[in-house]
Amino acid sequence: MLEIRKGNPWIFWPSSICDTFPLEPANKKLNGEHSFLLDFDFTLLDSNEEKRTIFSLLPMYSGLDIDKGCIIFLYNDNIETRTEVLPSLISVNKKTNIKVKYIYNQTLELYIDDKRQVKVNFENKKLGYDKSPHIIFGAGNFPKNGFNLNYTDFDLHEFKLTIDDKLISHHTFENFIHDKSYDLTDNCNFIHKI
Amino acid sequence: MTSQEVKNKLDGVGCGFCLAKWTQVTMHLGMGMTHSCHHPAPHKIPEREIRRNPSALHNTRFKKIKRKEMLEGKRPDECNYCWNVEDNSDSFSDRVFKSSEPWSIGSFDEISTSYWKKDFNPRYVEVSFSNTCNFKCAYCGPQFSSKWVEEIEKHGAYNTSTQYNSIDDLRKKDEMPYKQTEENPYVEAFWEWWPDLYKDLHTFRITGGEPLLSKDTFKVLEYIQENWEQNPNLSLAINTNMNVPEKLMNRFIELCQDLSNNNKVRELIIFTSVEGTDKQAEYTRFGLNYETFWSNVDTFLTELPKMTINIMATFNALSVFTYSDLIDRVFEMKKKHQNNERYWVSAIQLDTSYLRWPSHLSVKILDDEHKELILESAKKALYYGIKEFKHDNYGFSNVEIQKIKRIYDYAVGDSMFSTEKFRQDFIKFVDEYDERRGTNFLETFPQLEEFYVRNKKG
């Protein structure tokens, strides 16, 4: 289990250490041109009413926020960041599963506990991207930037990233090496402390 | 100044003009040889030249003729390493990079307008006083190790297809290293030149043999200790195998402490080597006591809080099984000795290069399953990696990681390597090595037993 706590978000950005190794870091595949399934289990620990970010896919913002009892699913389609507002489906102290399923040139879907909540048509569109995408867990930005942080507390139990139907990153957060969670697929697609 | 601007400036003098022919030198005093830069083959320094002019250790007539060619718009043949790069790629050659260095570019006007016969004091100097060494590493040879000379004089060359480490050629070319007990006119010339050379130096590096077994190394350090005000900005680098007698090591640490703690040099860096762990490292670096090595590294980093140790690892076929453990050990040291004072940020760096010669010890002789272990080592270094190489953190840098990954790329890459021939040479080599040195290859490398048996049968 990975304890995400206020002020200490973690990040999925394996190419940030060495840009040439691994050869195809999974974060670079989150560039809108590959289908992917982002699948993770977490337990929210923070019950306050302020805006909180579960994850943010940067630098072209997509992500999942909780704000005043609502869930806000954000996605960027290369034109702007759009939002879908949902009722509260995430309870404090209860394990929740999130799946974000993107099928290139078709659809973007959000599932909460295996029930589809959002389906967006992405025909002739691509998810917004930049050359080195990354996912922050527990914040909407890097702490050093000092804005849009929206810290929260949660425990991340498991994380899986499938790209083009191939599982290329899998974490159960049992092994950590130098503030990096070990990727069970052996692809070195680690999640690390910021 | 950009690399292109430096190139334009150099080309303005001549298409073969390179400042390093004046500003940089590597001198092998034990053999009486010199070259500028390190790419051309070393050439013999005529004794008559140093008798007249000790700076002929660098300013040989041979080298001056090459400088003349450069000033006249020609490209000296001995510099073909750079001409190959310039003629066959869009990359800048080392001619541009070395000329761009702070120890080079500042002398552009002086050099470009100088008469070719004029002597020039180099700024970047590497010197080996002798080949005296207490090691005889498997991949080394008589030029760099007196222990190797003793072995080859006793047993002859190894019976490989290359007649590994034969000294016949050295004898023919009059390049046999002087023994430590013999008077060496090249070392004498060095000391005659040194007071004048020292004040102009940017970087001075002592290599070997084992430099700490040479009294000249200590003489250099003591000289700097007394005369540092003539050149307080010197960057000083010294190689050592970290396995010399305790008394010498203690004296060395004491001198380094004075130079470093009292800012008598701009920076001090120690270069050492190891390519594996425990018995396997000791087999390859014959003479090494692995735990003494680390104990000395630990002492250095404790006693010298500003200094960095660079491990130059020559990754070879016998490194694959324990390199990952070595990475753990280096990481432990990075963590233990991280502070805010080091000249080079990191307390210890692992600089991994691949061994090309002798080919029978290259990673290319290995089976695929063994080569995969190199990739596993690179992955471990990546997990120990750090994003920002700053004083307040520790771990492996992007460059350290990439250099390990590059060994894997080299191992699995296509090339004209005669694998079967060099595997046969490897078997002959380790058999003879064990017989001469009383080692036991199969006991030390059980992971290679099947490989050994298969290739022994041929």
CATH number, residue A84: 2.60.120.200
DSSP H or E stretch at residue B374: helix B368-383
Say whether A18 and B385 touch across the interface (CB within 8 A). yes
Structure tokens at A151: 């810290």
Question: Which residue in chain B has the smallest CA separation from A191?
Answer: B383
Residues from chain B that touch A22, judged by Cβ atoms under 8 A, are 382
| Letter string b/e over residues A161-171, b meaning 16 or more CB atoms within 10 A of that residue's CB | bbbeeeebbbb
Distance from CA of A21 to the nearest CA of B (A): 7
DSSP characters over B81-148:
HHHHHHHH-SSPPHHHHHHHSHHHHTTHHHHHTS-TT-----SEEEEE-----S---TT--TTT-HHH
How many CB atoms are closer than 10 A to CB A38? 22
Question: B383, A22: Cβ pair inside 8 Å?
Answer: no
Strand B203-207, strand B235-239: pairing: parallel
What is the SS3 assignment for B352?
Answer: strand
Q: What is the pTM of this model?
A: 0.93
Q: What is the pLDDT of residues B72-105, one digit of tens each?
A: 999 999 999 899 989 988 889 999 999 999 999 9
Q: Please report the pLDDT score of residue B8 as a whole number.
A: 96
Identify the contact set of chain B against chain A, taking CB-CB distances under 8 A.
331, 378-379, 382-387, 395, 398, 401-402, 405
Give the Cβ contact number of residue B63 at 10 Å. 23
State residue B416's pLDDT score: 86
| Stretches in chain B below the pLDDT threshold 70 | 458
User: In angstroms, what CA-CA distances link B24 with B92, B211, B220?
Assistant: 18, 20, 19
Are A127 and A75 in contact by the 8 Å Cβ rule? The answer is yes
Phi, psi of A55 (to 5 degrees): -150, 155
A18 and A137 Cβ atoms separated by less than 8 Å: no
> Nearest CB to B378: which of A16, A21, A186?
A21
User: B35-81: per-residue pLDDT in tens?
Assistant: 999 999 999 999 999 999 999 999 999 999 999 999 999 999 999 98
Would you call A18 and B398 a contact, using CB atoms and an 8 Å cutoff? Answer: yes
**Which residues of chain A lie closer than 8 angstroms to B383, CB-CB?**
177-178, 180, 182, 188, 190
Distance CA A152, CA A47 (A): 9
What's residue A160's pLDDT? 98
For position B415, what pLDDT does the model report? 77
Cα dihedral B263, B265, B266, B271, rounded to 10, equals -120
Bond into A22 cis (ω within 30): yes
Minimal C-alpha gap between B79 and chain A (Å): 31
Whole-angstrom Cα distance, residue B214 to residue B146?
A: 12
What is the pLDDT, as a whole number, of residue B191?
98
Q: Which of B382, B386, B387 lies at the smallest CB-CB distance from A21?
A: B382
CB A15 within 8 A of CB A164: no
- Which pLDDT value is given to residue B173? 85
CA distance A61 to A77: 10
Partners of residue B407 in chain A, C-beta under 8 Å: none
Query: How high is the pLDDT of residue B181?
Result: 87
Query: Contact B384/A177, CB-based, under 8 Å?
Result: yes
Which one of B379, B395, B402 has the shortest CB-CB distance to A178? B395
Sheet holding A70-76, edge to edge: A81-86, A70-76, A62-67, A52-58, A134-137, A10-12, A191-193, A180-181, A176-177
Number of structural domains in chain A: 1
Shortest CA gap B189–chain A (Å): 47
- Which is nearest to B306 in space by CA: B336, B272, B273, B266? B266
Its ipTM equals 0.93
Which residue on chain A is closest to B408 by alpha carbon? A21
**CA torsion sign, A43 to A47 to A48 to A49?**
positive
Residues B100/B1, Cβ–Cβ less than 8 Å: yes
Q: What burial class does residue B104 get, using C-beta atoms within 10 Å of its C-beta: 0-12 exposed, 13-18 middle, 19+ buried?
A: buried
DSSP B253: H
How many residues can be counted in chain B?
458
Burial string for A101-133 (b: 16+ CB within 10 Å, else e) reads bbeeeeebbbbbeeeebbebebeebebbbeebb
**Average model confidence (pLDDT) for chain A?**
93
Q: How does DSSP classify residue A181?
A: E
| Interacting residues of B369 by C-beta distance below 8 A, sequence separation 6+ | none
Q: Which positions in chain A touch B379 (Cβ < 8 Å)?
A: 186, 188
DSSP structure class, residue B357: S
Query: Are residues B382 and A17, on separate chains, in Cβ contact within 8 Å?
Result: yes
3-state secondary structure B264-301: CCCEEEEEECCCCCHHHHHHHCCCCCHHHHHHHHHHHH
**Which residues in chain A touch residue B378, judged by CB atoms under 8 angstroms apart?**
21
Looking at residue A95, its amino acid is K
| Structural domain range at position A182 | 2-193
- Residue B266 Cα distances to A183, B204, B251, angstroms: 43, 11, 21
What are the backbone angles phi and psi of residue A179, rounded to the nearest 5°? 60, 30
- Asked if B405 lies within 8 A of A20 by C-beta distance, the reply is yes
Residues of B with Cβ-Cβ distance to A186 under 8 angstroms: 379
- How close A10 gets to chain B, by Cα (Å)? 14
- Of B446, B429, B267, nearest to B344 by C-alpha is B267
Which residues in chain A have their CB less than 8 angstroms from residue B384's CB?
A: 177-178
pLDDT digits (tens, 9 = 90+) for B308-352: 999 999 999 999 999 999 999 999 999 999 999 998 889 999 999
Q: Is B52 exposed, middle or buried (0-12, 13-18, 19+ CB in 10 A)?
A: exposed
CA-nearest residue to B379 within chain A is A188
What residue of A is the nearest CA neighbor of B396? Answer: A17
Q: In chain B, which residue's Cα lies nearest the Cα of A182?
A: B383
State the pLDDT at residue B75: 97
